[in-house]
Structure 1
Amino acid sequence: MEIRKALPEDEPFLYEVFVSGRWDEVKTWGWGEEEIQSFLFMQWTMQTKSYQLQYPQAINHIISYDQKPAGRMLVQSDTKSIRLIDICLLPPFRNKGIGSALLHELQRQAGSQEIPLFLSVTPTNPARRLYERHGFLPCSQTETYWEMVWSNQTIS
């Protein structure tokens, strides 16, 4: 597995990764392919702008596996915490341990700096169980998101 900083020329791939994570859900709405593409492009554009406003220091990473682009990970770090903002893998690369390896690396970084690692997840997202298996604990909840934290102190 390789992780590198995303470049401007990676934008089409970043959009492809975003679509891969939403296509099946939106497809169930009964829309045509053109409507789905238009809607997803609008959502991706708004998500990208929202992340830039909320997390101006975030770094977008491209994840490669077996020398093939496999996904993206958006992370913001400072001296007080690390935040996993977004992570998504293309379908052929899911359930291969890549997500676990990425989480382990972020946990290693947070642990070595003795700072917490935060993320947000919807309660129905299957990734929530992955985060729980890796020691993340809910620290706050809304109707739509769970804020979760991992730190050296959350491990027994």
Structure 2
Amino acid sequence: MLLDPAVQLRLAIPEDDVFIVEMARHASVIEGWPLPDLESEGVHSLLPADGEVSIVAVKAGGRRVGAVWTLHNEPPLRVGSAGVPLPELCIAVVPDMRGNGVGNALLDALFVQCAGTQTALCLNVHARNPARKLYQRRGFEDIGQGRGPLGIAMQKDL
């Protein structure tokens, strides 16, 4: 699906921090369940540290509608062949914009940003998360057990 031309992608700026926390809340919950508290450990474990790549999707008029970023957790979800932890990605789109190409565009932009410095990206997805199909379409493959009993680790080579 093509992205609505009224939606633009850009690197995140400090003014996006509150929105990225909100997107981490969406990314950390199973669809249909209530969003976790802002202060929950699950939300904070998904936030990008300084130096990570963060991209925001913004509609005309300035409304932010999605974000994707890299992060490094301890322990890492996946270690590359050189023994270096792979960046993990986190992505979320506001509910009323899902299925409109925002997630595809965010992932593609992240791949471009990371291609020069990373060999691969990984992610953790709940087995029942419908976004798993999106990740498969964008080239991610199941690589084993992820975080939690229903977590699936996926990886995409860049």
Q: Is the 8 A contact 1:3 1:62 kept in 2?
A: yes
Q: Is the 8 A contact 2:58 2:64 kept in 1?
A: yes
SS of residue matched to 2:32: helix
Residue number in structure 1 paired with 2:111: 107
Q: Which blocks of at least 5 consecutive residues in structure 1 are unaligned? A: 28-38
Find out whether 1:134 has 2:138 as its counterpart: yes
Aligned counterpart for 2:57 among listed residues 32, 42, 63: 63
TM-score (norm 1): 0.65
Give the superposition deviation at 1:151: 1.1
Q: Is the 8 A contact 1:17 1:90 kept in 2?
A: yes
- Would the alpha carbon gap of residues 74 and 106 (structure 1) be closer, same or farther in structure 2, given more than 3 Å must change? closer
TM-score (norm 2): 0.65
When Rg is computed on C-alpha atoms for both structures, the one with the higher figure is: 1
- Would the alpha carbon gap of residues 116 and 126 (structure 1) be closer, same or farther in structure 2, given more than 3 Å must change? same
More contact order relative to length (CA 8 Å, sep ≥ 6): 2
Structure with the larger helix share: 1
Q: Is the 8 A contact 2:12 2:56 kept in 1?
A: yes
Distance 1:61 1:110 in 2: 11
Distance 2:110 2:119 in 1: 11
Distance 1:124 1:63 in 2: 25
Residue number in structure 1 paired with 2:77: none
Q: Which blocks of at least 5 consecutive residues in structure 2 are unaligned? A: 1-7, 73-81
Q: What are the equivalent positions in structure 2 for 1:48-87 lying under 5 Å apart?
A: 48-51=43-46, 56-57=49-50, 58-66=52-60, 67-76=62-71, 81-84=86-89, 86-87=90-91
Q: Is the 8 A contact 1:82 1:110 kept in 2?
A: no
RMSD (Å) for aligned C-alpha atoms: 3.3
Percent pairwise identity = 22
SS of residue matched to 1:73: strand
Q: What are the equivalent positions in structure 2 for 1:1-156 lying under 5 Å apart?
A: 1-7=8-14, 10-11=17-18, 13-14=19-20, 16-17=22-23, 22=29, 25-26=32-33, 40-41=36-37, 44-51=39-46, 56-57=49-50, 58-66=52-60, 67-76=62-71, 81-84=86-89, 86-113=90-117, 115-142=119-146, 143-152=149-158
In the TM superposition, what whole-angstrom CA distance separates every residue of 1:19-65 from its partner, at most 9, and x where no partner exists?
666596336xxxxxxxxxxx7325x532243235xx64545543213
Pairs aligned (count): 135
